[in-house]
Each structure stands twice: as structure tokens, then as C-alpha cells.
Chains A and B, each alone.
Chain A
Amino acid sequence: MPTETPLLEIDTLGKRFPGVVALDGVSLSLRAGEVHGLIGQNGAGKSTLINILSGMLTPDAGAIRLDGAPVAVRNPRHALSLGIATVYQELSLLPNLTVAQNVSLGREPTKGGLLDIRTSRTHAAETLARLGLDFSPDVLVSNLSLAQRQMVEIAKALASHPKILILDEPTASLGQRESQKLFDAIGRLKAEGVAVVYVSHRFAEVLALCDVATVLRNGRHVVSTSLAGWSEARLTDAMIGAQTASYVPSKRTAGDVVLSVRDLTYMQRVHETSFALRRGEILALTGLLGAGQNEIARILGGDLRPESGSIVKDGRPLPWSGPYGATTAGVALLTDERKHEGILPNLTLRENIGIASLADRRATAGIVETTKERELTGKAISDYGIAASSTEVAMRTLSGGNQQKALLARWDLADADVLVLIEPTRGVDVGARADIYRRLDTLARSGKSIVVVSSDLPEVLALADRILVLRNGVIVEETTPSEVDEEALNLMIQGAAAA
């Protein structure tokens, strides 16, 4: 049960990135044996807070106190030695090593300089047992299911005997039964006096599991409260708040079907999904993390090859032939990994905008018509409001928002008539966000069709003509912004009985 002295105190922590205030005076206190929910929309500051606690980022302002003494978490290793262990969303296990090797990596027990395999095995087995897992520590991680790997990940964090365990969306890849196992394990840890920070979008879990919760919004602290008497609706209210809409779209009208997708199946992520996209329409796909929306977008863009199913564009079947095939057919993909999968960092802004449309308009016999290219890209830069000193600056020097606008301009020039965007405003500052929404609206009005994958609910509601909600790789609901508000949409995504 919670004791009186806080184990961890976070005092008016602040962190800013170029153009974005990620954390602004956030405070939180954590007691031993407490499960503390951390709630907020994307961009609310949860990840920044976690990264500061685990030593990946250093704060600009504020203080962290452990057992009353101020500390500065220098790096991940230091965080571990302070007793703070973090389990991230993305898996960090090495598939070619055994469970025991993964759990003890970096802290291998030795005897006379050689590995003490027996100790590391018993130690791993004990940790697995603590979590109620029944597989052998000698099994290779590559032979485990996704859910089992997630549990090993937690075992790895526990192996250092932390006082504070941070779990970031731990149930994203778990089924009902495995989730229950995890909750049982958290119950046991709680009884042992470990403090757990539990980050989740799934309010039902938070309500069932957590003693207290802290809600963040736009990098600010909203409330820290005991959860007794709280409902999912009340949590949603706290998370969303009374927002002033910075961008209000007017009505668009959709035309004929441009793209129809039938029975798309991919790995265990997407199951026989079908939908249609109309001309001049913005279609949003949303769902919890791992519900299959990202995979659908990547399949449309040719990045992933579906196991089965068909895509028909303008009445003609579109056989899979990679991004080249998709872009040639006029379907372009902008992923959430803009730094690695979008921009060409060392090429100039002009070259980045022009790269997808070199062949069709600004080159004869393979020679680039530079003057024409300059003219066209220059126009695109002013059209899209890209802030850059010239067309010749290296792409990597631009801010996230300007990079995203440049990528939109790239596909606008290439005349792509279907744009597929994953989290289009991630890492983009607030000012550029409205700009991007306006550009997408203009593009849709000019007859382009747009698919937006987003877990940012205000964004979905502001942009979309239609919304498809996915759960476990299947479309479970179709709705429109006029039929739902944020709360109702959130409940649909959560899979609660309402709506």
C-alpha cells in the first residue's frame, strides 16, 4: 500500500525542442507500491517525460527527486543504477539470443572471467516465474510469440531489481489473456513495493489497474488524482479538455471511387480488410497502436507486400510492385518516419521537391531543365509557405513542419492523385500543423484523394470526411466527424460498449 514519503518527485519539469514546447512545468509524485497511470494524447508530453526519467533526454528546467534527494539522470545506464527501468513500446530484444542472455545482457554473471551460465539461467528463470511465465530461459527469443517477447522485455527490466518500473503501452501487442497475466504480475510487483508508471491509451485498463493517474495535455500538467469514482468518460474529458479549434474545415463533396481495396491480409496485423476511397475525399484510419492502420497505409504505398487481397485503382487492378509501382500509378506514401523514410537529408530543398517528378515534366532526354525546375519548385515553396532562406539549402536543416510541407509539395508536383499519410503532423509544431491541414484540404478540393492514418483524435475529426476505426486488424466502425465527437470516437477506438 502507498506509504507517506514519495519515492520519486518530479517538480515543474520543462523541455523544449526547436519550435515545440514538449513539457511545460509538469509535476508528479510517485510512491512505493503505487501504480500510477500517465494519460494524454499524442504530443501531450508523455514520451518526453519517460525519456527524461530513463536518461535519454535531459530536461531544460525543473528537478527530479529520488527519495527526497535531487538527481540528474545522465544516461540509460545511470537510470538503471538509480533503480529506474523502462520498457518501451518498440521491442528491444535480440532475436538470436536466448531469453536468459537477453535478460542478463550487460550484467552477465561471471565466475573466473567466464560466463556463469547456471546463475544467469536460474536468475532468468526466477524473473520469469515472478511474472508467471512458464517457458524456459534457454529458448531463443526468435521462437517466441510477440506477446511472449513483450513479457520477456518486462522480465529484462525487472532483472535489475528496479524500484520504479515504467511501462509504455505494454498491452499494445498483447491479447486478452496475456494482458491479464501482465496485470497479475503488476499486482505482485506492487505488493513487493515496486512503483509502476503505467502509460496507456486504454482507459479500461488504467481504471482497473492504477491507484492514481496524472493527465497531461499539450505538455502541461492537467490533474493528478486518485482514480476512485472516475469513469472512462471523465478521463476522456480530462485528456481532451475544452479545445479551441484552430482549424475549421468547410464541407467537401466526394466523387467517384478512385481506389478500392478488397480483402487485404498481412501477417497477423491486417485481416481481410476492404474499403473504398473516393475522389476529393479525406479518409481517416484510426485505432489503438498496432490495430493494423499503419500496415494498411504501407501496403497502399507499396512498401509492404500483402499476403492476399487486391487493390483496384481507377477500375484497373494494381498488382504489387513496390513503391515504384504505386507511385507510377499515382499513389504516394508519407510515413511517420520522416527523417529516414521521407527526406533526402543532404540533398537540397529543390532536389527534394523535384525528385519524384523528374521524368515527366522537367527533363528532356534525361537532362534536367534546371531553370524550369527552379521556377516550379520556387512556386511550390511559396505556395506551401515553406520557410527556407533559399531553394538550395540542405533538407536536413529545415524544421519538421517545413520538411513535411516540402514532401507534400513533392507529390503535388508529381501529380499523385492518392496521398497516403501516416501521422502527418508528428514532430510538427502547432503553427505548421494548421498549415498542413489547410494544404490537405486544398489538395482534396482539387480532386485528390487522401488517406490519413492518425491516432490524434482532434486531427482525425478536423480533417476527415469519413473515419474508419480499426481494432486488431479489422475495420470495426465507420463514422463521420458530424456523427461523433472526440469522446465518442475515443470510446469506439477503445472498444467500449457505447457509441
Chain B
Amino acid sequence: MTATLANRRDRDGGPGQALRGFVARNPMLLAAALLCIAFTLTSPVFGTSGNAANILRQSASVLVLGLAMSTVVLVGGIDLSVGSVVLASATLAGIVLAEGAHPTLAILAGIGIGAAVGTLNAVLVEGLRISPVIVTLGTMIAVRGFSLVVLGRYNSWVEIKGPIFSDIARRTVAGVPLDALLALALAAVLWFVLAGTTLGRRWHATGDAPIAARLAGLRIRWLRAVAYIVCGALAGAAGILVATRTGLISPSIGQGLEFFAIAVVALGAGGLPAGRLRISQVVVGTFILMMIFNYMTIRGVPGTWQTTVTGLLLLGAMVAGRLLQRDSGDISAGEATVDENAGLSQMGIRLSRSALLLATILLASVFVFINPRFATWPNVIALVEQNAALAVVAVGATIGIISRSVDISPGSVIALGAVVAALAGQAGSPMPLSLLAGIGTCLAVYALNGLIVGRLGLDALIVTLAAWIWARGLAVSLTNATTIGFDMGFVTFMNTPLAFGFTVAAPMVGLAFLAGWIVLHRTPFGVRVYALGGDPRMVRQAGIDERRLRLMILVVMGAFTAGGMLLMLGRLGAAAPTAGFGLELDAIVAVILGGASFRGGTGRLRDTAVGVLFLAILNNGLSGLQMGDAQFFLIKGSIILAALTLRACVQTYFVRRGTT
């Protein structure tokens, strides 16, 4: 007896209404036009044809990246590795050119490496059913590491020289830059694929209603896999455009581009709507973002503010999109595995847990074997100190994953909190007040996220994704990308050994786990955290206020992030805007490796502790080998992906054996 919510929107014809309908369907097009007019009126430079060409050129690679992202968003996924793919593609193309091969070959190499990374993502996400966020965060780090290692062999820079490449960078056709034309041509091709081919139709169906699409006979996992591969190839093409424009490949290329890719999609479409994305929206989103960047540059706003603005625009677009189309379906969170419901047998759970413990011991033994200094007491102390912030944040991440509120912002929020504390100190506020300002900042960001998640029903994952971008951007802009020192009294306190050489960090970790355990197992809140992750409907049926619960969950997680911020600030002795980079991945990986499910409802703190131990040993062991960032990223990313793969294999095996 389902009440059909039919006939929601009945529209009548008529020219005036047709126009109104067009605007209502394309609000961002109107916004772009208004922005354009406003910018032209307020700046004499903005409206010139030279500046227009400039905007077009700057838009080219971002548009292609946005196209790449839209293929996976369309089928209900997400890909955070596109920025790293840009670096890999540009590097490889540059090297092929430097080795004297034909430019066409260089272009193919760039697109090929992109497709290869896309294939890897596809296998891990669709083949092994690991969450796309965590997989692509892993490939983001591993691919960046790989590219930097390769680039390192060429003294970290490669010059781009070649006939086709310089043509793309310099030629114009009827006043329009060639690279912008190429990007628009790719957009047209993708538009045709989506609108006119069976593949496009099936992608729409898969994103719109995966279960229905599956029963309609579509091979949805295969279709989504193809989307990841196409995404990778397009990101590779974007890498070629970046290479032509910069002319010089250096390690900073592609950094943060994944933010822009997500932002242009969300700006155009008002969120990340699986199954309902249009290419025209991505084009409009790209031009809005690039016009804003351009205007900022004209007005003399430092480039460091670009990321902040991107993140805030992303957040604004998603909130506005939600408010405007409240009644029309859900915005996808990129969870690609909802349709395959299979329980894991007890045996499988036990085995995957003991497998992690075994892997941890094995990893430690390897480091003991290759590095005599690994198993020394000072190193054990260092291991704890280095990873204390991770451990504390991982407690919060456990609560988040149990309640299905995955948070990818802790790294960025820690950086922002530390920066605020240091700036307050610099402005002359006393040390405790400065710390309070930092803690307050962390809690405020989480409370804001919690309000949005609770009130608007947006998925925590995409709300914290925005915070991941804007909080990091704000930390960079506030400090002008420099490190700011902090009160020596606090730093000394945090680094003074208390007993056995351990500083206050060790008891703080213990305290965090204890607090987490009490919260999860000794308060009504904890039971509800498990209940919410298990099945939100049950929570509503039991008469619990779901919005308040979601807000509470994020605030509690914010408290743990604040704890991590204090540890980070104390250990570094200063606020670096880059602090905590990759911490979110470590924290989520620790929880997932420990045995919690991304689907929520399960997870234990002691398993998280083992997961943290595994990563701590990995971090410490690798840094003890005195390698550069490049190797570190490559090896760490690969080991994390390998560990996740192993866990997923064990699970798949036991699901098959256990339930069918």
C-alpha cells in the first residue's frame, strides 16, 4: 500500500512560463551571466577580449577535469585521484618528449597512464567493492608518489618541447585559444556519449536507481568500472593540457586540482547528483569558478585564497542545491556498494581481524630486520609521539564510520585550528586563550558541518569534503602559506618527558581511547551511534531526534579532532598550513583495516587501535629509512591499497562461502 507521490510538478506551456522554466532549470546559467555582468561593470580589465581569452585558456584543463569527474559522479561514484593523474600524465608525456619520441606518442602516453590509474580504481571499487572515497584517496597518494619518483630521476623538472604541444598552447582559432577549443570539443563528445549512446543511457540509469537498473538487466558494476576508466583517461588528457600550458613539469603540478574538479561539477549541478548530471552544467560551473578566480587576480587577491573560495563555493552550491530541490531525490554520496547486501560470516570477521594483527607483526619484523634502530626504546617513543594525533583522530573516525558519517576533513581542520591558535598567540592573546581559540575553531567547523548534515540531510561525506577543501585553503590563506611559531611554554610542556621518556602525548592517546569507549559503550548516545549506522529508520521509529543526533555525532568527532590539533601543535611547535595532510586517509584506513564496515553499524575501538598501530609502524618505519617524500608516498599508498585489497579479498571469499 504505497502512497505514490505522483504529479509533483505539473507545468503549463506559454512563452513567459517557458522562459521561467528554463531559468528554473538552469539557475547556474543565470548566476554565471549575472557574475559576468557584475565583474565587467566593476573592473575595466575584466571585459576585454584579451582577458576573455585568458579565462578560456585557464578554463581548458579544469573543464576537462570536471568532465572526468562528471562521468564517475553520474554513476554514483567519486574520484579524488584526478589531481595526481594530471601530474602523472604531464610527467610521462614530458619524459616521452624528452626522450625524443613523436608528440602523438607523448599524448597517448599521458592519456594511457590516466586510463591505467582509472582501471586500478575500477578494479578496487567495483571488483573488490571498497568505498570509492578511500580507494581514490589511496591512489591519489600512491600516484603522486609514483610521479614524483619518476620526476626525481629527471632532477624534478622536465621541459615540454614539441610541435603539437606548443601549437596547443599558443594557437588561436578565430580569437579562441586552441586548448579551450579542444576542451570544449571534448565536452561536446562527452555530451554526445551521454545523450546519444547506449552507454550514456545506461550510465544515467545506473546512477539514478542502481537496483532498478540491475533488475533491468544492466551490468551496473561493469558500467561503473567503465566510468572510472573514462574518468582516468580524461584526467590524463587534462594533464596534457596542463603540460602544454605550463611548459615545465615540476612537482607542484596537479596539486589540489581534484578540489576544482569536484567544485565545478557541484557548482554547475548544485551538488553531486548521480544519474541527473548534464554536461552543460559542468561547462557553466567551470566558467563560474574561473571567472571568480580571474576577478580575484585582477583585484589583487592573493592566489592562496583560491582554494578557500573553491571549498566555500562547493559548500554553498550543495546547500543551495539541496534547498532548491528538496523533494527530488537524494544527492549521491559516492557509495557504490549499496546494492550488494551480503553479511560477513563470523569466521570471516575473526580471520580478517587476526590477519591485520599478523600483518602488523610482519611489518614490524620487516622494519626490525632492515633497520637496526627501529626496535630501540627512543624509536618506540618517537613512534608514539609521531602518531599520537592520528590515534586520537582515529577514535573520532571510528564513531563517524560506525554511524555512517564518514569525515574526511580532520586533517584540514587540524591545520586551520592550529593556525587560528598561532595567529591568536601572535596577536598577543595569552596562551590558554589562544589554545581555546584553536579548539573552538575545530568545534565550530564540525558544528557547522553537523548542522548542515542534520538539517538538510546531506551526506556527511560530501559536507566534510567541502570542509576538507575550504578549511585547508583558509589555513593557507591566513598564513600566506608560511609556518607560524607558537608559545614556547606550551611546546616545552608538550615535549617534556614525563615517565619512561614518554611525553604527555602517550597518556592523551590513552585518555582519548578511554573517552571514546565510554562514549560508545556507556552512554545512550553510543547506542544510538550504532543504531544510526545500522539503520536510520529504526532510530526514527524509536522516537529519537535524528537531526540532533547527527549534529551531536559531528561535535563529538570535532572534540577528538581538537585533541589531535593540540598534539600536532605541540609536536611541531608551530602551526603549519600543510600540517595534517593525509591524516584523514590514515584515520579512515585505520578504522576500516580494523574491521569496521563502511556501511556502518559495526566497529570496535580495540580493532581501530590495531589499525592505528599498523599505520604507526608503517609511518615510523618508512621515515626511519631516510627516504624522500616521493618514495614515502609511493610505498605508503601502495601498502595501504594492498592491505585494503587483502581485507576485501578475505571478505569476498567469506561472504561467498558464508551465505550462499
Residue positions of A touching B, CB distance < 8 A: 17-19, 22, 43, 47-48, 57, 75-77, 80, 92-97, 101, 105-108, 110, 113-115, 117, 301, 303, 305, 307, 322-324, 326-328, 332-333, 335, 338-347, 351, 354-356, 358-359, 363, 366-368, 370, 396-400, 403, 410, 414, 426-427
Inter-chain contact B522/A115, CB cutoff 8 Å = yes
Contact of A77 among B5, B197, B328, B543 (CB under 8 A): B543
Cα of A108 to Cα of B549 in the assembled complex, Å: 15
Contact of B217 among A324, A341, A347 (CB under 8 A): A324
Inter-chain contact A22/B527, CB cutoff 8 Å = no
Q: Which of B186-220 contact A (CB under 8 A)?
A: 196-199, 201-202, 204-205, 208-209, 211-219
Q: Is B155 interfacial (CB 8 A cutoff)? A: no
Q: Please, which residues of chain B bring their CB within 8 A of the CB of A19?
A: 4, 6
Inter-chain contact A80/B543, CB cutoff 8 Å = yes
Contact of A327 among B2, B217, B518, B535 (CB under 8 A): B217
Inter-chain contact A43/B218, CB cutoff 8 Å = no
Q: Please, which residues of chain A bring their CB within 8 A of the CB of B209?
A: 340, 343-345
Inter-chain contact A355/B202, CB cutoff 8 Å = yes
Cα of A399 to Cα of B55 in the assembled complex, Å: 47
Inter-chain contact A339/B6, CB cutoff 8 Å = no
Inter-chain contact A328/B6, CB cutoff 8 Å = no
Inter-chain contact A341/B211, CB cutoff 8 Å = yes
Inter-chain contact B531/A351, CB cutoff 8 Å = no
Inter-chain contact B601/A358, CB cutoff 8 Å = no
Q: Please, which residues of chain B bring their CB within 8 A of the CB of A305?
A: 660
Q: Closest residue to A358 on the B side, CB-wise?
A: B198
Inter-chain contact A47/B524, CB cutoff 8 Å = no
Q: Closest residue to B602 on the A side, CB-wise?
A: A96
Contact of A346 among B3, B201, B276, B537 (CB under 8 A): B276
Q: Closest residue to B545 on the A side, CB-wise?
A: A77
Inter-chain contact B219/A324, CB cutoff 8 Å = yes
Inter-chain contact A410/B216, CB cutoff 8 Å = yes
**Chain B residues with a Cβ closer than 8 Å to the other chain, count:** 55
For the complex of A and B, 10 pairs with smallest distance between CB atoms: A327-B217, A77-B543, A106-B542, A108-B524, A94-B534, A358-B198, A17-B3, A105-B542, A400-B4, A427-B2
Q: Please, which residues of chain B bring their CB within 8 A of the CB of A333?
A: 215
Q: Please, which residues of chain B bring their CB within 8 A of the CB of A18?
A: 3-4, 6-7
Cα of A83 to Cα of B348 in the assembled complex, Å: 43
Known: A18-B4, A96-B530, A358-B198. A346 touches B524 (CB 8 A): no
Inter-chain contact B328/A397, CB cutoff 8 Å = no
Cα of A398 to Cα of B534 in the assembled complex, Å: 33
Cα of A496 to Cα of B205 in the assembled complex, Å: 47
Inter-chain contact A323/B541, CB cutoff 8 Å = no
Inter-chain contact A351/B534, CB cutoff 8 Å = no
Cα of A301 to Cα of B201 in the assembled complex, Å: 22
Inter-chain contact B215/A303, CB cutoff 8 Å = yes
Inter-chain contact A368/B196, CB cutoff 8 Å = yes
Q: Closest residue to B11 on the A side, CB-wise?
A: A389
Q: Please, which residues of chain A bring their CB within 8 A of the CB of B216?
A: 323, 327, 344, 355-356, 410
Question: Smallest Cβ distance from B174 to chain A, in angstroms?
Answer: 30
Q: Please, which residues of chain A bring their CB within 8 A of the CB of B205?
A: 344, 347, 351, 355
Q: Is B299 interfacial (CB 8 A cutoff)? A: no
Q: Please, which residues of chain A bring their CB within 8 A of the CB of B219?
A: 322, 324
Q: Please, which residues of chain A bring their CB within 8 A of the CB of B276?
A: 346
**Could you name 8 residue pairs across A and B whose Cβ atoms are closer than 8 Å?**
A105-B528, A323-B214, A343-B209, A347-B208, A358-B198, A397-B8, A400-B2, A427-B3
Q: Is B326 interfacial (CB 8 A cutoff)? A: no
Q: Closest residue to A57 on the B side, CB-wise?
A: B3
Cα of A19 to Cα of B7 in the assembled complex, Å: 11
Inter-chain contact B522/A359, CB cutoff 8 Å = no
Question: Smallest Cβ distance from A401 to chain B, in angstroms?
Answer: 9
Q: Is B540 interfacial (CB 8 A cutoff)? A: yes
